[in-house]
Amino acid sequence: MATAVKLSDEVVQAARRQARVEHRSVSSQISYWAKLGKIAEDNPDLPFNLIREILLAKEEADQGLTMPYEFG
């Protein structure tokens, strides 16, 4: 369910610039920032780069791009 939210022009412009670099829509970029912010708040001891790597690894696993680890 979509909800209209008022954001400052500064935030929208920053999102627009970053969205172009990341090949996302502006709304997807803002959603991504919100997701990262929530994860960071829920896990204050995790550095940003580790959060990004965890999200990337989860996406790779969801797409079946992982291989089982063989012990020994």
Counting the structural domains of the chain, the total is: 1
Inside any domain, residue 31: yes
Q: How confident is the model at residue 72 (pLDDT cuts 50, 70, 90)?
A: confident
Is there a domain that residue 67 lies in? no
Other Cβ atoms within 10 Å of 38 Cβ, number: 10
Domain range enclosing 34: 17-62
Residue type, 10: E
Tokens 């550095």, located at residue:
47
- On whether residue 55 sits in a domain, the answer given is yes
Question: What is the tens place of the pLDDT at every residue in 27-51?
Answer: 999 999 999 999 999 999 999 999 9
Tell whether 3 is covered by a domain.
no
Please answer whether residues 26 and 14 qualify as being in contact, where contact means their C-beta atoms are separated by less than 8 angstroms: no
